[in-house]
Structure 1
């Protein structure tokens, strides 16, 4: 089981499209579109959203992503109709619909709990302001361009060259974020959070781009090796 997602939009087609996109990153996560009114028109419906929340609930909680303001109001109205126990398992974060859904889906696929999934969705809203610059301070250096791993407390670093044709686009970013999110380490890739798919995508790193990876924590060396393995395999893309 995992945290489920509900996509609330005034347009049924938008809700379904966002669901389809997010599902590409998270095949095991239940993602339910809740777009339009009861008769399929443009708007939102309390009944449609309520049914979607119930459908997405597996026991680990549900994160509801919305588009425009009245969709937020509809989602919050649903909360008022739930009993206390059910309400405690639903979050409606302030997050962009598309970026938030992708980030939440990746977090849920990686086994994150309800609050972490909601937090990752919210963080996607500020991803565009992230620095895509060089490495941060406080982590050991000494890695060569071929991808040799160096570990020297308090962390490890590695430098790797993207070889897959389209670089660090959505699907490779999702694979990388999922892999790093499951480790006991704080890892940054070219200065951004390596466990955040949206932050990785802001790097716009194409084929031939260099990834400088810095990690601290018990699994720091493993994190560097994980990045090196995924990059070396071209993220298993043809």
Structure 2
């Protein structure tokens, strides 16, 4: 599994970022280390970053998320100081959104390239529809294939938490799973991608089409259809207090 190192000038910011991201990755969680605050203050320390990377020596790769530009410079120095040999990538994605997207993708068994791509494109869900082409991709040529439509029942649509549930479920199958929002004609996107799912801008009562190819395609489609129609772990009716929160 891919590990993450969070490099920030502020330890409080780093810990809050990890806490938020961990709430999105249910079940097995990728290993995460924090290297933040130089000598207990504000700043970054290349030696501490190198040590954090070395603690993840038994992973298949490490993605380093940074906040300000000098944090990336410290990380580049840390690569010369580390003792471990696993591949390491320094992300240029946003710290909070990138960490969340990367952690969810890593939890589904994504490769270092896939996890890094999620982090780099983590702001795609905030862009206008005509700017989200990078989050879209066409399904692979059909082999074993299946498809189904499901109506979204979540009162607040597919926001970060249900998107993470859906991504984790999709990543557990030997199949290339894509989802399209038929109501708004957005997609298809990789169902294991948190960024892609958020870019669908799926609201309550929108109809989502699930398409899959690969050995587990029928099982994956049926499972995701069921999860969507059951609310992806969220209640179908919300109180005023729930909506305010």
TM range, normalised to the smaller chain? 0.7 to 0.9
Q: Which runs of 5+ in 2 are unaligned?
A: 181-186, 236-245
Equivalent in the alignment of 1:144: none
* Residue in structure 2 matching 1:198, options 179, 195, 200: 195
CA displacement, residues 195-230 of structure 1 (integer Å, 9 cap, x when unaligned)? 101111122222222212222233222222121121
> Does structure 1 residue 172 correspond to structure 2 residue 162?
yes
Equivalent in the alignment of 1:73: 73
In the aligned structure 1, how far is the partner of 2:168 from the partner of 2:196? 13
Q: Is the 8 A contact 1:100 1:120 kept in 2?
A: yes
Secondary structure of the residue aligned to 2:109 is coil
Equivalent in the alignment of 1:155: 145
In the aligned structure 1, how far is the partner of 2:115 from the partner of 2:135? 26
Equivalent in the alignment of 2:234: 237
* Residue in structure 2 matching 1:217, options 196, 214, 218: 214
Q: Is the 8 A contact 2:8 2:67 kept in 1?
A: yes
Q: Is the 8 A contact 1:139 1:156 kept in 2?
A: no
* TM-score (norm. length: structure 2): 0.78
In the aligned structure 2, how far is the partner of 1:96 from the partner of 1:12? 17
Q: Is the 8 A contact 2:46 2:74 kept in 1?
A: yes
**C-alpha displacement at 1:54, in angstroms?**
3.2
* Residue in structure 2 matching 1:119, options 74, 98, 117: 117
Equivalent in the alignment of 1:109: 107
Equivalent in the alignment of 1:21: 20
Kindly tell me: are residues 33 and 154 of structure 1, through their superposed partners in 2, closer, same or farther at Cα, counting changes over 3 Å? same
1:26-45 matches, cutoff 5 A: 26=25, 28-41=29-42, 43-45=43-45
Q: Is the 8 A contact 1:139 1:215 kept in 2?
A: no
Which stretch shows the higher mean deviation, 90-99 or 193-202?
90-99
Secondary structure of the residue aligned to 1:59 is coil
In the aligned structure 2, how far is the partner of 1:110 from the partner of 1:173? 13
Equivalent in the alignment of 1:88: 86
